[in-house]
Chain A
Amino acid sequence: MTYVPHSEADRQAMLQTIGVKSIDELFAVVPEQVRYPALKLPAPMSEQEILRELQQMSERNRDLQHNLCFLGAGAYNHFVPSVVDHVISRSEFFTAYTPYQPEVSQGTLQTIFEYQSMMCALTGMEVVNASHYDGATAAAEAVIMAVNVARGKRRKAIVSPFLHPEYRQTIRTYTQGMEIQIVGDESTRNDLAALAAMLDNQTACVIIQNPDFLGRIESPEALSDFAAKVHAAGALLVVSANPISLGLLVPPGEYGADIAIGEGQPLGNELNYGGPYLGYFGCREEYVRKMAGRLAGQTIDVHGQRGFVLALSTREQHIRREKATSNICTNQALCALAAGVYLAALGRCGLSQVAKLCYHKAHYAAERIDGLKGFKVDRAKPFFNEFIVSCPAKPGKLNRKLLKEHNIVGGFELGRAYPEMEDKMLVCVTELHTRDDIDRLAKALKEVAS
């Protein structure tokens, strides 16, 4: 099976036009000793055979169609309205390349422009780009951008220990050749006050998460005070936020964030075992020329009609080459399209409703679990839709029993990210959970713990 249309007669005629006898002649330049290696791959398959095999392979997973899920921790199980897949399945969108030829790419360009507009509205930022690979790489690019805003003179980034652990790891991977110092996340005792104490004239940025990795939310007042301290030290404030939470909570742009980033997956993108997702990335307009990634901009055509193009591409690698601040080329356009359709479908009223459903249901779940013998919910701080539960047994052990005996995927085992929290799990509740689902979790937790 191949997707090649030629018959042997076609090939012969084409070879004649080229002036060679066989296709092999075209490859004569390849050193003979390595030419035509045998590839040890499974035998080819028909469409029905591969679909059957993949179906079986996929059924080896305990998927969330058949199991109730309370995992979040950076990837969220939300309802995706039917319109989203319908739109991203239009092959005019998904079989197109990057819109370098704007006259035949107005569909992609306008949807990006609309995505940028809606994400600006959601985050309170002045500019949002066309997306990064995911939240983690957006965080890494934010740190690099902050260093560039300081013209490379400030090379320290203060990172909250409650920024997603994989974002913190990705920041370190990205910057390992750049002589940027990463501090702040050595200890979970480093709250906002402790982070503020680390500010100095070498600090390019501080990066925090709200709701933080543990689901907790800070008051806008505390965050504004913190932003003021960061700015007084001449540094930028970078905030990572779950975009669904912004349907309800005061957005980063309103409490002083200079750069807002995060994982865009909760907006209309399926879990897909971790990808493809999209990183959203926004900043204040004054920094736009230091921002990496694509941007769609509005302009006019030769007839004076409105149209859209890739704007400021002179910042990008294909033009600036070694002087570019990032090598990013591909973005997550189709995921950003999904996010845009999701935001447009839910709109002003729908998104705030989803956020409220998440909030109330999570609080109901917290109430139920807190009442169980041996379990304790950490209520020291307000939370959005995830909360910390101290467990009477190892969370890993409880989770295995939950899945085996109750078809429930339990919360994130916090010991994986913070060794001192090995008796705790992070439970996530979304609008997908019904009251019955939550009651089922509470009942199951009680059983597996006893």
Chain B
Amino acid sequence: MIEPLIYEISRPGRCGCFLPELDVPEADIPEAFVRKDLPLPEVSEVDLIRHYIRLSQMNWGVDKGFYPLGSCTMKYNPKVNERAARLPGFVRTHPYQDEESVQGNLQLMYELQQFLAEIGGFAAVSLQPAAGAHGELTGVLIMRAYHRSRGESQRVKVLIPDSAHGTNPATTTMSGFEMVELPSDARGNVDLAALEAACDDTVVGLMLTNPNTLGLFDENILKIADLVHGCGGLLYGDGANLNALLGIFKPAELGFDVMHYNLHKTFSTPHGGGGPGSGPVGVVEKLAKFLPGPVVVKKDDKFRLHMPEASIGRVKSFYGNFGVMVRAYTYIRMLGAAGLRAVSEDAVLNANYLQAQLKHVYPLDYDRYCMHEFVLRGQVKGAPDIRALDIAKRLIDLGFHPPTNYFPLIVPEALMIEPTETESRETLDAFVAAMKQIAEEAKTNPELLHSAPHVTPVGRLDEVRAARELRLRWKPEE
């Protein structure tokens, strides 16, 4: 059952809102400035609501069921966060209001900066970046500014393990640097020999996700930090996987110099179908003056906006995604230190519980305890033409959102599974049962997998056609 487009339910003369009458005299509008047509749809309020509600029903969300999407931390989004973020005293404030008149906002931001700094072990935090990748760009530009401030502009190489998120290499290019890819060793760690060989005085730093995208904590982390620092480089932490380490260790204490946080992953703010997120950046003392700003400082019991003295500049307008910050702040205040540690402990427990059972069903390339996620091969012995994609789509039929597939790139047919801490044992058991059922079906009825999903409003979609015959908007003649 497909839903018509908003344009297809449009009828001339309808309107979905009621506007006030003009209560001032009309002013002249120069005719030449006025557009001739405004081809927007015309729908009544009831038709509009039904349209969007029906569309919402064609979506999967955390509130509907298990969403074990690796690297994305699809934990439950507490409803109190939404209520907090909608308090009119927060919502109805303008970013250019005088600081004196928004002390509540600034206090919240100041305290959130402190909380994040404490969790990461960093000296200072800027809340301005709007997303994880935005935080990465911020972090790498800070590294660049630091080296240049020391007259070391020959540093142009950013080291990136082959297990890294795609944003890391893209960020490197955006920052004007070259990337050097490092292989992983047989245990899923950074290959130390390759790292050592790459470390010289042209290195900006290493971008490391730890635990990495295999869900593995790098066993040589201290040695890695020493090697990078030894050649004058900096250690960047991709905080996408922070959900494994709250209260377990502070990244700065392991040698990370700069790290971004994903408030929309670790700190329970909703993903919104792709955003908005928030990607604050934490840094050690020597990098604090390069942070983007303004950041919030406290002086004589007043909160003020302040631009760090050698700031890389602002990375967006205003101060960051404030509404997202309110949600993350609420979460941290409700959980406290013990609650946050329990989050990471149970996230890791849940992942290992799944891994321990599923590694007998699907190949596991790196067989050791994982952190908050793990990566299987979506392959079944005795069913050679079954791919990770088939398994992913069949899971939809059985009532689960698929894991991340085909990432990380170093595992063929990757299925990357991150259960998060908010899932119960019963949910995890049901997922294991579904994965086992699929492995059986792969052998006995492979067509069932190839043609999956069967229960969704649309079947598998032709992505090649979408790229070849680009249709990126509705056109009247269609």
Contacts and interface: CB of A to CB of B under 8 A. Distances in A.
A346 B59 contact: no
Given A19-B356, A127-B473, A54 B330 contact: yes
Interface string B42-79: 11010011011101111111111001010010111110
Interface in A126-179: 126-128, 130-131, 133-137, 144, 164, 166-167, 169-170, 172-174, 176-179
A70 B339 CA distance: 43
Given A31-B222, A220-B32, A302-B460, A347 B41 contact: yes
A296 B472 contact: yes
A148 to B, nearest CB: 11
Interface stretch (B173-181, B281-289, B376-384, B436-444): B173-181
Given A173-B141, A249-B33, A301-B462, A96 B315 contact: no
A347 B43 contact: yes
Contact of B316 (A46, A113, A137, A324): A137
Contacts of A271: 91-95
Contacts of A169: 313-314
Contacts of A302: 451, 459-462
B3 interface: yes
A354 to B, nearest CB: 7
A15 B369 CA distance: 12
A177 B175 contact: yes
Interface string A343-383: 11111111111101101110110000000000000000010
Nearest to A323: B173
Nearest to A250: B35
Contact of B472 (A45, A57, A116): A116
Interface stretch (A185-193, A304-312, A440-448): A304-312
A41 B336 contact: yes
Contact of B59 (A36, A96, A220): A96
Contact of B67 (A19, A97, A133): A97
B83 to A, nearest CB: 7
B336 A42 contact: yes
Interface in B343-369: 343, 345-346, 348-350, 352-353, 356-357, 369
B460 A114 contact: no
Interface in A1-39: 1-6, 10-11, 13-15, 17-20, 23, 25-27, 29-31, 34-39
B38 A23 contact: no
A37 B421 contact: no
B318 A94 contact: no
B13 to A, nearest CB: 8
Task: Identify whether the interface residues of B are mostly helix, strand, loop, or mixed.
Answer: loop
B95 A75 contact: yes
Nearest to A85: B86
A41 B422 contact: no
Contacts of A348: 38-42
B19 A297 contact: no
Given A31-B254, A98-B271, A248 B473 contact: no
A390 to B, nearest CB: 19
A297 B110 CA distance: 41
A69 B460 CA distance: 50
Given A220-B32, A311-B472, A335-B275, A274 B338 contact: no
A105 B60 contact: yes
Given A6-B346, A40-B337, A431-B19, A63 B92 contact: yes
A330 B275 contact: yes
B411 interface: no
B379 to A, nearest CB: 20
A318 B166 contact: yes
A130 B272 CA distance: 13
Given A122-B38, A274-B318, A83 B89 contact: no
A95 interface: yes
B312 to A, nearest CB: 6
Chain A interface residue count: which class? 35 or more
Contacts, number: 678
A196 interface: no
B197 interface: no
Interface in A377-429: 382, 399-400, 403, 409, 412
B59 A135 contact: no
A97 to B, nearest CB: 5
A434 interface: yes
A94 B79 CA distance: 11
Interface residues of B, number: 198
Interface string B24-39: 1111011011110011
B56 A92 contact: yes
A201 interface: no
B387 interface: no
B101 A62 contact: yes
A437 to B, nearest CB: 10
Given A104-B396, A273-B318, A431-B19, A30 B336 contact: no
A341 B34 contact: no
B306 interface: no
A179 B5 contact: no
A307 B461 contact: yes
A288 interface: yes
Contact of A309 (B51, B82, B90, B463): B463
Nearest to B107: A57
B272 A103 contact: no
A15 B96 contact: no
A251 interface: yes
A39 B396 CA distance: 40
Given A350-B16, A360-B24, A330 B277 contact: yes
B461 A350 contact: no
Contact of B312 (A176, A217, A221, A319): A176
B422 A37 contact: no
A60 B104 contact: yes
A54 B461 CA distance: 45
B410 interface: no
A295 B376 CA distance: 30
B248 A30 contact: yes
Contact of A114 (B16, B67, B474): B474
Given A58-B88, A220-B33, A275-B319, A360 B41 contact: no
Contact of B273 (A30, A96, A118): A96
A203 B425 CA distance: 60
Contacts of B64: 91-92, 95
A60 B96 contact: no
Most interface-central of A60, A74, A99, A166 (chain B CB within 10 A):
A60
B327 to A, nearest CB: 11
B374 to A, nearest CB: 12
A31 B90 contact: no
A69 B97 CA distance: 9
B461 A309 contact: yes
A274 B425 contact: no
B42 A349 contact: yes
Interface in A267-317: 270-278, 285, 288, 294-303, 305-309, 311-312, 314, 316-317
23 contacts: A17-B353, A30-B248, A36-B249, A42-B333, A50-B330, A59-B89, A60-B103, A81-B17, A93-B273, A101-B60, A114-B7, A172-B313, A297-B472, A301-B459, A305-B459, A330-B131, A332-B130, A337-B272, A344-B40, A344-B43, A347-B40, A352-B38, A409-B97
Given A177-B175, A273-B319, A346-B40, 11 more contacts: A2-B343, A18-B353, A31-B222, A38-B337, A45-B336, A57-B104, A104-B58, A106-B2, A121-B40, A250-B35, A288-B472
Rank and list the top 8 A-B pairs by shortest CB-CB distance, nearest first: A177-B176, A58-B89, A274-B318, A44-B336, A274-B95, A334-B272, A60-B104, A276-B276
